[in-house]
Amino acid sequence: MKQNQIGESELKVSEICLGTMTWGEQNSERDARLQLDFALDHGINFIDTAEMYPVPPSARSYARTETFLGPWLAQQKRDRLVIASKVAGPGRRDWVRGGRTELTRENITEAANGSLARLRTDYLDLYQIHWPGRNVPMFGETRFDPAKEASAVPILEQIETMAALIKAGKIRHYGLSNETTWGVCEFVRLAREHGLPPPLTIQNAYSLVNRMFDADLAEASFRDKMPLLAYSPLAMGMLTGKYAGGAKPPRARLAVYADFGERYKRERVAQAADEYCELAQSRGLSVTEMALAFVRTRWFVASTIVGATDLAQLKQNIDSVKVELDAETLAGIDAIHRRYPSPSA
């Protein structure tokens, strides 16, 4: 499988990254090991996790995904893998580190040490801030609301903490996630101003039904050499065809977790997904292949994060790297996008 260099760093990652957020909720530890072995055998060297996983998050399952990954990782040749995890940001989750979720120096360090212990490794290749600690629209919200302003840990303190973790050898690089253009630029500005390492990557949602990254975030990505790690490229299953025509498969994530993934349950998302399914079929493709191949064509994407609940799904996701979209298919995608511009954003 092709590997892409991340920015100007020494990290080279497979163009498909194995996502892990179902492990511990929809998948057992045995399932996780099977997926890991299968991914490794098919050229994937990049694995993404988080202290918050599995999702939907709960006190019962907190950090279980890293706990599943750790014993497997301890048996591997560590330098052949790129392991990424994330520190949870502030939120109403008192069960995360006893409620210590503000992005302070002490809390980030505690979170990193916890992830290292669970993952049974001495270092993380990439450590990401899962979501900003300040007032920003997130997870399907699109409007910034000044009325929600509250005190937040300064960005400089977050950068200094990541720099200290790098110096201590606990992480090699750090990145951002669910971040805005202003946030990207401010992290980079402050890092340069203070002679500290800037963030290496940004991990945001990106798919046929969420192309918000195409505009100002893409410019920031280009100018600051910060590629995208694209998550939810299949829009939580909406771009697999299993929900086509209003179907509700009983074991599917959006059916099992009624209060989860609201942004993907909007009427226009379903309408757009149905049209993408029809286009893919007319081009002799599955919509899964088309959706993943499309994300891979974006110049700002370093790796596409895929998740699966069984090996058949994972195989189909990995096999998508064999698909190249022709000009007619790309034109059809753009036509649908003009009718349904980022309905899940």
- Return all residues near 142 (Cβ < 8 A) that are at least 6 apart: 345
Q: How many CB atoms lie within 10 A of CB 134?
A: 20
Q: Strands, E, within the chain: which ranges?
A: 3-5, 12-14, 16-19, 46-48, 82-87, 124-129, 171-177, 202-205, 228-231, 301-306
Do 146 and 96 meet the contact criterion of CB atoms below 8 Å apart?
no
Are the CB atoms for 242 and 319 separated by under 8 Å?
Answer: no
Contacts of residue 331, Cβ cutoff 8 Å, sequence gap at least 6 = none
Look up residue 2 and give its two tokens.
């092709």
Q: What kind and span of H or E run contains 269?
A: helix 267-282
Bridge partners (DSSP) of residue 126 are 84, 173
Burial class from Cβ neighbours inside 10 Å (0-12, 13-18, 19+) for residue 143 reads exposed
Which run of H or of E encompasses 201?
none
* Pairing mode, strands 46-48 and 82-87: parallel
Enumerate the active-site residues.
53
- Tell me whether the omega of the peptide bond preceding residue 56 falls within 30 degrees of 0, making it cis: yes
Cβ(181)–Cβ(222) below 8 Å: no
